[in-house]
Each structure stands twice: as structure tokens, then as C-alpha cells.
């Protein structure tokens, strides 16, 4: 049974998180909410998908996270000619002791943090090679399974699907990302700071923020954050409300959604809400933590009707509608149906 967190535990968690936040904010100026969501996703030990136009700092942020956390880091530039074996690795014929045999040569997936840069520029066949790695933390090649390092994160960047040379990610792959976060542009004030403080846009050098032991300590602290039953029920009702066939589904959901969110969405909200609570300095999850993590955890898991997409409906907009419509505290059942 998990022991209750003390005020000292919460303070220690905040100190560790602050180090990572400060390092990321020094690299990516004016993107506090984006940085917070990235830190929450990593503390929840989930994969992260960043979407935005080229040049907004997505790749630089992921590289900075790898350096700050002191993890082994590999970058894969996804292109249309990239093959599955280029990222998983494969057997190579070697001669040992006078005889030749095939020996598995690990690919770039065998790192703690893998940057899948512009992931939606590779073919669906190559994207599908990530499915086992992202879920089971292992790679199977020619019938032999190889465990990936722990911890293992895929931090992917993608360009909007409207841009040339992009492929839509399969729903099964999207479902394996804990968060999908939209990367916005920055204000004129932030651009001024970049122009005056950073020649050629070069980010400042920084040291490792957490040792391997401290990172494990942070993961353990997140695991000890308490998730009350009422808050868990709120997250479950939000996920259930995304299904158009649900008895209590909103008219907007019935008309716009083809498929609702999977059980992975509820798990994603629960785990990320724990990290969000620790980031806020609390030993237990609050309804506000669920509300903060709902859009990045749910929106990319909804499959919308084609007509809704043409009409301009967005999955993120639907989730925000649900956050307004679904009460945090479950309404009491009438006496007749209890």
C-alpha cells in the first residue's frame, strides 16, 4: 500500500520539478504552459507528441529535455524513405570464432529518450514500427524480442497535416501518446528577446538538472500522489462522455464524433493528473488537475466524422465543451434508480 505523502515529500518534488522547468524555460522563451505540459508528461512516464509549424522550437525543447534529465538521447529524422529497420535495428552477419552468425545490431530506438523528428513525414509502415516500442518498451526482430532501456520515452514532433509531404498518423499510434500538445507562436516581446539575447537563435548551454537517482526519486514521488475516488470518477465520466453511443452523450458529440476515447485516455488523465498535482505542490489530485490535462490527453484520441472536420469542428474544442458540461461531482441518482 502506498504511504501518504508528507509536506517534505511535496516540497522535494517541487524542487526537482523546478530544476527541469527552469532549464526548459531558459531554452524555450515564452512557452510556460508548453513546458509545464512536457514536464507533466515525462513525470507520468508517457510519450509526447508536439505539433506545430516549422521553426517554433519543438526540436530544441526535446533536445534540451534529454540533456537536462541526463538520459541517453537519439534523434531520428523521419523521411519518406526511412525503413522500419533503420530505427529498430536488425541482424548483421559477423564472424566470431571462425564461424559466421547473425548478430542483432540495435537501432536508434535503443535510448532512454528518442526524438522522432517530423514523425509524420515517414510512411505508415515505418510509423507502425514504433507501436510495440511505445507500448511494450521492447522491439521484436526476426522473432527475437529485445528490451529497450528504462526509462524509455518517445518525444515526437510533427508538422500540421496540411503541409506538403506529411502522412496522418494511424489511430493506434496516436493512442500510444500520453499527450498531444499544440505548439503556439510567440509574441513580439519574446521575439525581441530572442533577437537581442541569442545570436543566430543559439540557446544557452545548461547542465544536467537531475541525476539518474533523482529522476527515479521524482517518479516515485509522482506515484505516491493520491487520486481520490471522486476525482477518478470525474476523469472516467469525461472519457465516457466522448462516446457518441453513450446514453448521456451531448448532441455535439453524437453529431461530430465517430469513435470516442479509449481506456488509455482515462489512464493518461489519471497518471498525468498526479504529476500535475505535484507540480502544483499538492499531495493529492484535484478536479483542476484533471481539467488541466484533459485536452492534451483526450483530443488526439477522438476520431471525428468527416462532415464535422469539413465544418471546422476540432477535437480540442469538443473536449473543452465536455469540460463545461460534465459536472466535477457526480450527480446523485434518483431514489427510484438507486
Length of the chain counted residue by residue: 338
Q: Which of 189, 224, 259 is the last residue of a domain?
A: 224
Residues 49, 133 share a domain: yes
| Structural domain that includes position 252 | 225-330
Separation of first and last alpha carbons in the chain:
31
Reading the block at residue 45, the C-alpha cell is: 512516464
Residues 259, 147 share a domain: no
Q: Nearest CA to 133 among 120, 124, 146?
A: 146
SS3 string of 105-130?
A: EECCCCCCEEEEECHHHCCHHHHHCH
pLDDT of residue 286 exceeding 60, the answer is yes
Q: Which of 224, 243, 267 is the last residue of a domain?
A: 224
Most confident stretch, 27-31, 48-52, 281-285: 281-285
Q: Residue 247's Cα: distance from chain center in Å? A: 30
User: Is there a domain that residue 124 lies in?
Assistant: yes
Residues 236, 211 share a domain: no
Amino acid 337: pLDDT? 40
pLDDT, tens digit (0-9, with 9 covering 90-100), for 229-251: 999 999 999 999 999 988 888 99
Residues 114, 230 share a domain: no
Amino acid 172: pLDDT? 86
Which residue spans within the chain are E strands per DSSP?
47-51, 73-77, 89-96, 99-106, 113-117, 138-141, 144-147, 153-158, 177-182, 257-259, 303-304
Residues 48, 118 share a domain: yes
Q: Which whole number is the average pLDDT over 184-194? A: 83
pLDDT of residue 225 exceeding 50, the answer is yes
Residues 186, 92 share a domain: yes
Amino acid 333: pLDDT? 47
pLDDT of residue 219 exceeding 90, the answer is yes
pLDDT, tens digit (0-9, with 9 covering 90-100), for 292-311: 999 999 999 999 999 988 88
User: Looking at residue 233, which CATH number applies to its domain?
Assistant: 1.10.8.80
Residues 239, 217 share a domain: no
Residues 307, 195 share a domain: no
Residues 267, 131 share a domain: no
Amino acid 162: pLDDT? 61
pLDDT > 90: percent of the chain: 44
Q: How far is 325 from 331, CA to CA, in rounded Å?
A: 12
User: Looking at residue 92, which CATH number applies to its domain?
Assistant: 3.40.50.300
**Per-residue confidence at 261, pLDDT binned at 50, 70, 90?**
very high
Q: Which of 133-142, 164-173, 205-214, 231-240 has the lowest mean pLDDT?
A: 164-173
Amino acid at each position: 500500500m502506498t504511504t501518504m505523502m508528507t509536506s517534505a515529500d511535496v516540497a522535494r518534488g517541487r524542487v526537482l520539478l523546478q530544476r527541469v522547468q527552469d532549464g526548459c524555460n531558459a531554452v524555450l522563451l515564452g512557452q510556460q504552459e508548453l513546458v509545464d505540459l512536457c514536464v507533466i508528461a515525462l513525470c507520468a512516464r508517457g510519450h509526447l507528441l508536439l505539433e506545430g509549424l516549422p521553426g517554433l522550437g519543438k526540436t530544441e525543447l526535446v533536445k534540451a529535455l534529454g540533456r537536462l534529465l541526463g538520459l541517453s538521447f537519439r534523434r531520428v529524422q523521419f523521411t519518406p524513405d526511412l525503413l522500419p529497420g533503420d530505427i529498430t535495428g536488425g541482424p548483421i552477419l559477423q564472424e566470431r570464432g571462425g564461424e559466421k552468425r547473425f548478430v542483432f545490431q540495435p537501432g536508434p530506438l535503443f535510448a532512454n529518450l528518442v526524438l522522432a523528428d517530423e514523425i509524420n513525414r515517414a510512411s505508415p509502415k515505418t510509423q507502425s514500427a514504433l507501436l510495440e516500442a511505445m507500448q511494450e518498451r521492447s522491439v521484436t526482430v526476426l522473432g527475437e524480442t529485445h528490451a529497450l532501456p528504462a526509462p524509455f520515452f518517445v518525444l515526437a514532433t510533427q508538422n500540421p497535416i496540411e503541409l506538403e509531404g506529411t502522412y496522418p498518423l494511424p489511430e493506434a499510434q496516436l493512442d500510444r501518446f500520453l499527450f498531444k500538445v499544440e505548439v503556439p507562436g510567440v509574441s513580439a516581446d519574446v521575439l525581441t528577446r530572442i533577437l537581442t539575447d541569442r545570436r543566430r537563435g543559439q540557446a544557452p548551454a545548461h547542465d544536467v538538472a537531475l541525476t539518474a537517482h533523482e529522476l527515479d526519486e521524482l517518479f516515485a514521488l509522482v506515484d505516491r500522489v493520491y487520486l481520490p475516488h471522486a476525482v477518478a470518477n470525474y476523469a472516467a465520466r469525461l472519457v465516457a462522455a466522448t462516446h457518441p453511443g453513450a446514453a448521456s452523450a451531448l448532441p455535439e458529440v453524437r453529431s461530430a464524433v465517430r469513435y470516442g476515447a479509449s481506456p488509455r485516455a482515462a489512464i493518461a488523465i489519471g497518471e498525468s493528473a498526479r504529476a500535475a498535482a505535484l507540480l502544483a505542490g499538492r499531495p493529492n489530485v484535484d478536479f483542476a488537475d484533471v481539467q488541466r490535462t484533459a485536452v492534451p490527453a483526450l483530443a488526439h484520441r477522438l476520431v471525428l466524422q468527416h462532415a464535422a472536420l469539413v465544418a471546422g469542428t476540432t477535437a480540442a474544442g469538443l473536449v473543452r465543451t465536455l469540460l463545461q458540461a460534465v459536472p466535477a461531482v457526480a450527480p446523485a441518482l434518483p431514489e427510484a434508480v438507486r
